[in-house]
Amino acid sequence: ITNHNRRMDEIDWQIVTTLQQDGRIPFRQLATQIGLSPAATTARVHALEHAGVITGYRAVIDPAAVGRPVRGIIRLTGSGATTRSMRDAEQVALTHPAVRRMHQVLGDCDAIVYIEASDLQELDALVTELGSYGQTTTTIVVQSRVMDKPIEAPPDTATKP
């Protein structure tokens, strides 16, 4: 059960900011850093997890280091039966190893697919497959300027504990 209406205070934001930078920090060290006891810190982290603020912890992998150096963005505009074609395209995205994310969007296309492919041939095959569900436009990422920027507290939203 998640509670997306949970109001976060300054300590919650300190916890979230620290965990975004180092998800493996020991609770004792986190407690020292934010000025709470280890028990209170653990309770806060668990409350943030239960509320759906913290949704997981994972290793960050360099795609090029594991054989997926080709990064790209595929924009998909569904054909006539948009709902069905988007559902079918979603199934391709769920099963294709090069697809990292697929977002349904509003605007000049229906979906944006982020990929990390092993080579241009794999990218081309994916674009061809997705093209059977609508029109595609593909962009190759040459260099990423900003990646995984931490989420910060919106102005004037963090309450005092």
- Rounded to 5 degrees, what are φ and ψ at 109? -145, 175
CB-based burial, 15-29: b 16+ in 10 Å, e otherwise: bbebbeeeeeeeeee
CB atoms within 10 A of CB 37: 12
- The residues pairing with 103 across neighbouring beta strands, listed in sequence order, are 112
Helix (H, G, I), strand (E, B) or coil at 160: coil
How far is 148 from 69, CA to CA, in rounded Å? Answer: 18
What value does the mean pLDDT take over residues 41-49?
97
- List pLDDT tens digits, range 65-116: 999 999 999 999 987 656 788 899 999 999 999 999 999 999 999 999 999 9
Backbone angles phi, psi at 54, to 5 degrees: -95, 115
Q: With a threshold of 0.85, does the pTM exceed it? A: no
16 Cα distance to chain centroid = 16
Reported as a single tens digit per residue, the pLDDT across 112-131 is 999 999 999 999 999 999 99
In which region does residue 148 sit, left (phi positive, over 0), alpha (psi from -120 to 50) or beta (all else)? Answer: left
Reply yes or no on whether the pLDDT at 33 is more than 90. Answer: yes
> Span 24-53, mean pLDDT?
96
